[in-house]
Structure 1
């Protein structure tokens, strides 16, 4: 045993030496290229890119030539190499925990009391007992299961192997005993009522092999569990502290167990999973089948005729292995489907439920084939204590890349993409017929008749895409874009439904950075009705004879302009016109921040050229007197004049999961809770409705169901005494590796916006402040909590990352937002983002809260930039002190900032049910 550990240690040291040598070579090569004349530099970078591509392909070929045992050893060494190479990410995780322990451990006096109150939630009162609360949870459970039912996706079903003819099932693998109901962190929810997989099978009258169950349950390394008892903060810390040497092994299955199972039934099922948790991104190897799991799949596939693979993961996995074995007849995606998702799965297997979900991401054979994956990870400046990410993929996220860059190359596409965005099968068939169309410069309006031509009842989704005319070298455009969608009711065999589908024609406009406006360029716009993004049922042509330029926002008439160019930190962005020359690479990054970037990050401008507002006046007004008044009603000024600087300072600083009361002005305390899959408190568990995670909500492709979820959450809020909801989460699945992909909806901004707006409107209609989050570009967890500088271009930001938030503001009528950890264009709490885009351009009226506060997030910058509340758990006294110090130097700017923050916050409070 000692010899074994010696060998392992030596191997790790050998790999560490390789990591250091390779790092030194890369640094030396960068210095060589930097020293070249600019004319030669680009060619050298391009040549290096091609060389790395060839080397990567060569390594793949070498792996194929090895025996399975040799391949296993090589893969393990590669895994260790990658983990050692990316070790700074682990250190970042440790530093957050260390800081947490240090602050709590050494702080004294009132400060420690404040920290402990925030962490324990002692100051927050939630009433989860009583008839009203029970009734609200019952309604939540019903909606939760309905979402799981409609969110489940059937990806493969050869020979109509599902539903099962023989209602007996062999369940293989340890993952069946640790079903993933949701993700970890603030997106986690109460799983105390979760139904385990085997009980769900029984509920659906499917017999499972008890002997095989007993075999797995008896293994010492396996412990059957249902749900997850950890709080969000514990899940996050576990994720950050996972060991570099940990290997997730799959227990072997004996020949005797296989033989017994074969006698029991020809049906077999294997679950495959991934770990998703806030504060930790997912490793590449975690999205691929491990060698142990591959061995299990091989054994099962070779012994059974009807094998079902169940994808129980919130991240996109590599599923190419299912094509290695003809006996893998079906693939069912359940995502992370909440406490009753197992029931939905069992009902689909039995045939009681007909699947109607559609996937919200592109499934590819190689998850590293997307351009965004080239700039995902740990990137640190050498001369600035900040991490950065270059969004060099531009608008070509997810299907936009694959559909554009493989256009006209069907063979290449099929070798790359396994399941296109929007894919999903049914147990029945449907015919579509466009019965009317009205296509003009104002709107695209269609009526589509959907008829069930099969033998069982089912729901269908009509997906509407568009392809805009493209000029090589002009404005970047994806070959195809989602425009909208609609879902039918449950149609009986032979039954039809006519869906009315429409969207604004200007939604097809592209942002023109050169002229700072949106434009519909003249030409032919193809309106496509698709089963998925790649399988188009029919196409309608809309001819636009002349350009249409939009210079102002349609709702507010605010003039468009480029808002995120202050730092001048330009990057090379992927172009449809020059794939080879612009394809992203992290090898040619400049890790030296320019003086302008450093100045922008470290500096903050206070506007002292404002009039000092009145404070502490006695106007005899209470907050309730303003209920129902417009945001800009003159009476607001009289009310705000009554606030003192001290009161405002206290209010905005102490706003983690609640806001404080100011009794003399009738300002009540409010309770603000996470999370996107049902109410949760990061530090303390309480009973509440639990829903599928947002990726499953989106996979329903059902706006009405999203609205119903928000509405029922609003009813729960009223029953529990909650006034604000930190949700929905609207960020993009930029790559499959995002640690919070389960918590976000999809790779597409329109799908996110439609589902997010539905959820938001449902809750807002019940008098809840909805804090849409994380505004914006919070697509990776690595380094997020130390404040990452995000570099992108204006078109990408507007068309991809801002779009779902804009839709939620305008269609969901939200009164709250949560800013992200990200430094946008060199600024955390960027005023152009929070005031320029959100408030001026989109017309948002309401409150912006920070995300959980870390050291780089300071209240003086926040309140003078449009961020109103500090979600601060650990450093409230420090925030107050910073505001007091800033007030001494910039009294007018700070007072106006605090006053604006109070106006925004209290306006949102008056929109809640608190004064009903």
Structure 2
């Protein structure tokens, strides 16, 4: 036994050395390719891709030649190689949970008491068992299933192979026994009512091969797995501990295959991703495992009608679909909530006509995205911080591919498999532009949509624009989403007229040099598209002269560059010089400048403020302020009554609740995760469960998003919840983001329109909505240690801030959750939270931190615009920080605390507690 352990250890060391050597080789090759001219670079990339494919095929042939025992050992070594290769990201996420548990184990006295209380939720009282609660959940389930129905996307359907004519199917793969209903972490939800895939097939009238099912169900590794689904902390930990991809797909025997061929010529295989909160995925994990590829190859070689189901919140590489002509159809279901299997089964049977559209660009190589060049683990050498450079600028997702390959259709098709916005139907539609009104204020179209097919269905009209571009001038994508509209269900021959409108100003670009937005003169092409690349028709709008916008349209606040610390330090991608500006991490300096160190470590307290009154006896209760404007003078009289100690306690104890101050009529509130339905990270309770946000967005249905927010709000009132930590409005900057399932898309306008609709639905029920994570929380690696995010102002405003701005202005949101990120060198950046959010956009409400870690200090938060500390681990520490800061900067801290109380209580007054 000892010898075996020594051999295993030696083998592990051997593979570890191989991983290190391969890493060095990949980096050197990357640098070689980056140094080549563009034409040679592309050829080199294609050559390497072809070589990898040949090597992969060679490995497969070599494996076939081995004995079963040798093949098993070789696969084990491959799995170990992948596990070691992906370890850095896994450890980065796991260290957070480990640290939390370690702290819980070593703290004593009131600190551990506070930690236990926050983690167990003893201080939070909700009732989900009442008759009202049951009724609210029933309504939630109905909306959740409707979202799953409309969010499913048909990406391929050769020869109209779907819906199935023969309602019998072979379901291959262990993944059918581990269907992913949702994600892990705060984006998880209650899956106790989840419908098993095989039950869903049966209910939809589709017969599955029972013998094939029995074969898989009888395998030791799958025993008891059917229908089980972990959520919350358990799922996060399991996800982070299994980052080597699929756990080895079981082989299918010849006897099983032969029986299946006799049963039906229809076959289905589900492919999945493993991403969860607190852990990103590698590009390798977005490809098929060798075992899964072998299964697909074997099935595709034996069945003529194969359907691939994409059950993933991250964009996977689907190039294998093109390898096998028998793969007739591809269905994307994402992570569709507890009733997603029903939607899938009904689409297969034809009871539901799919109407979803994908929210990301599917490419053959996820690393072809320029943002992927700067994604992952980057550490400073003389500063205990990680950083990330957004060198791709505005060229995120389709904005890159549509611009880079403009005029090069062959190159585009070799790179992009399914464009952003793609989705098919079982019927066909014709569009007719009935009228158009374009002027300097608005763009308005009336589009008649007619169902010209044989079955009922819904269609999505996507409206894009292309702005005039001057080489060397302001960066502009070749095309941008402007807005969209979805029809009702149209019967064959039925038509619906859609009025589609948006502000002309929405097409303006941010001019960093002049610190304003501008619509440059020229021709604006207004494009109606089936997706971003398949344009149905183009209409022109001529602008005779520049229009410059110097102030915000709603608040009148003057625009200015607010994030300038990275100015002149980033080389940002430009369409005027793709070769010279293409992102690369090879020249990143690991030595920080004194400016960055000073920016990160410094914090300014304004000691020139007038000390406010505290502890006054004005006889006011909070209810006396109901209906008053935020800046009504009576607020000052009320806030004068608060003591410093009361305010310190209130802002410090902001994890999932706020405390009561009875003598002033301030009630306690309950604040709950999450974007896919109410959840508590450390404890399960029964609640409505929805598809994750990527599926909600894939419906392209604003009305349905509003309806979800509305039923969430009604559920909150039934349970006694007053604030909702949602929606997540961050961008799918890359395919590797661990929380991509929890966010909506790669496009800010789609995020903003769906997010604002969800928000409005809940806010109309008098519930505080905390839009999150504000801002640029687009990767999980190093996030919880405070990552420095460097970008330029144009990209920040046009991509990352845009969905939050839309939600503030269109939904009158009363809450926000700040991110872990150091924006422009500062956590809780006052230019972000006060300058942009409050002054420029006019936000009135409360800002909570995300879960507090060591770098998130309360005295900096409340003097920068962050009002509540979502503090689970360190409440006493943050109270002491505030007390110490008060001794040194009494005016600044008192004013900061008072502002935080004003913001929090203003939002509380908007809740149903005061109806």
TM-score range, shorter chain: over 0.9
Q: Is the 8 A contact 1:231 1:684 kept in 2?
A: no
CA positional deviation for 1:248: 1.9
Identify if the C-alpha distance between structure 1 residues 20 and 284 changes in structure 2 by more than 3 Å, giving closer, same or farther.
closer
Q: TM-score, normalised by structure 2?
A: 0.96
Tell whether 2:187 aligns with 1:198: no
Report the equivalent of 2:174.
174
Distance 1:629 1:307 in 2: 62
Matches within 5 A, 1:77-156: 84=84, 87-156=87-156
Matches within 5 A, 1:721-740: 721-740=720-739
What do you get for the CA RMSD once the two structures are aligned? 2.3
Matches within 5 A, 1:880-899: 880-899=879-898
The count of corresponding residues between Structure 1 and Structure 2 is 904
Q: Is the 8 A contact 1:863 1:901 kept in 2?
A: yes
Report the equivalent of 1:272.
271
Matches within 5 A, 1:512-523: 512-523=511-522
Q: Is the 8 A contact 1:183 1:277 kept in 2?
A: yes
**1:743-795, Cα deviation, whole Å (9 max, x unpaired):** 00000000000000000000000010000000000010000000000000000
**1:858-904, Cα deviation, whole Å (9 max, x unpaired):** 00000000000000001000000000000010000000000000000
Identify if the C-alpha distance between structure 1 residues 715 and 94 changes in structure 2 by more than 3 Å, giving closer, same or farther.
closer
CA positional deviation for 1:239: 2.9
Please state whether the residue corresponding to 1:742 is helix, strand or coil.
helix
Please state whether the residue corresponding to 2:169 is helix, strand or coil.
strand
Report the equivalent of 2:830.
831
Q: Is the 8 A contact 1:49 1:585 kept in 2?
A: no
CA positional deviation for 1:247: 5.7
CA positional deviation for 1:95: 3.0
Report the equivalent of 1:60.
49
Distance 2:884 2:332 in 1: 54
Report the equivalent of 1:208.
208
CA positional deviation for 1:676: 0.2
Please state whether the residue corresponding to 2:773 is helix, strand or coil.
strand
Matches within 5 A, 1:164-313: 164-225=164-225, 230-242=230-242, 248-313=247-312
Q: Is the 8 A contact 2:673 2:726 kept in 1?
A: yes
Identify if the C-alpha distance between structure 1 residues 369 and 885 changes in structure 2 by more than 3 Å, giving closer, same or farther.
same
CA positional deviation for 1:323: 1.1
CA positional deviation for 1:94: 4.0
Please state whether the residue corresponding to 2:878 is helix, strand or coil.
helix
Q: Is the 8 A contact 2:822 2:829 kept in 1?
A: yes
Please state whether the residue corresponding to 1:755 is helix, strand or coil.
helix
Identify if the C-alpha distance between structure 1 residues 452 and 94 changes in structure 2 by more than 3 Å, giving closer, same or farther.
closer
Distance 2:146 2:723 in 1: 24
CA positional deviation for 1:566: 3.4
Tell whether 2:442 aligns with 1:451: no
Distance 1:670 1:189 in 2: 21
Identify if the C-alpha distance between structure 1 residues 740 and 580 changes in structure 2 by more than 3 Å, giving closer, same or farther.
same
CA positional deviation for 1:51: 9.1
CA positional deviation for 1:4: 7.7
Distance 1:23 1:321 in 2: 25
Report the equivalent of 2:59.
70
CA positional deviation for 1:659: 0.3
Matches within 5 A, 1:328-727: 328-566=327-565, 568=567, 570-727=569-726
CA positional deviation for 1:19: 5.5
Q: Is the 8 A contact 2:86 2:243 kept in 1?
A: no
Q: TM-score, normalised by structure 1?
A: 0.95
Identify if the C-alpha distance between structure 1 residues 530 and 574 changes in structure 2 by more than 3 Å, giving closer, same or farther.
same
CA positional deviation for 1:227: 5.5
Distance 1:700 1:94 in 2: 33
Report the equivalent of 1:39.
none
**1:639-674, Cα deviation, whole Å (9 max, x unpaired):** 000000000000000000000000010000000000
Distance 1:498 1:757 in 2: 24
Identify if the C-alpha distance between structure 1 residues 201 and 25 changes in structure 2 by more than 3 Å, giving closer, same or farther.
closer
- Structure 1: runs of 5 or more not aligned: 34-42
**1:124-144, Cα deviation, whole Å (9 max, x unpaired):** 001001211111000000000
Identify if the C-alpha distance between structure 1 residues 525 and 302 changes in structure 2 by more than 3 Å, giving closer, same or farther.
same
Distance 1:97 1:50 in 2: 46
**1:263-289, Cα deviation, whole Å (9 max, x unpaired):** 111111111011121000112222111
Distance 1:611 1:96 in 2: 41
Tell whether 2:322 aligns with 1:323: yes
CA positional deviation for 1:25: 9.4
Q: Which segment is superposed worse, 567-576 or 385-394? A: 567-576
**1:163-188, Cα deviation, whole Å (9 max, x unpaired):** 11111111111111111000000100
Q: Is the 8 A contact 1:445 1:500 kept in 2?
A: yes
Q: Is the 8 A contact 2:427 2:456 kept in 1?
A: yes
Identify if the C-alpha distance between structure 1 residues 28 and 758 changes in structure 2 by more than 3 Å, giving closer, same or farther.
closer
Report the equivalent of 2:67.
none
- Structure 2: runs of 5 or more not aligned: 64-73
Identify if the C-alpha distance between structure 1 residues 148 and 440 changes in structure 2 by more than 3 Å, giving closer, same or farther.
same
Distance 2:602 2:129 in 1: 49
Identify if the C-alpha distance between structure 1 residues 431 and 6 changes in structure 2 by more than 3 Å, giving closer, same or farther.
farther
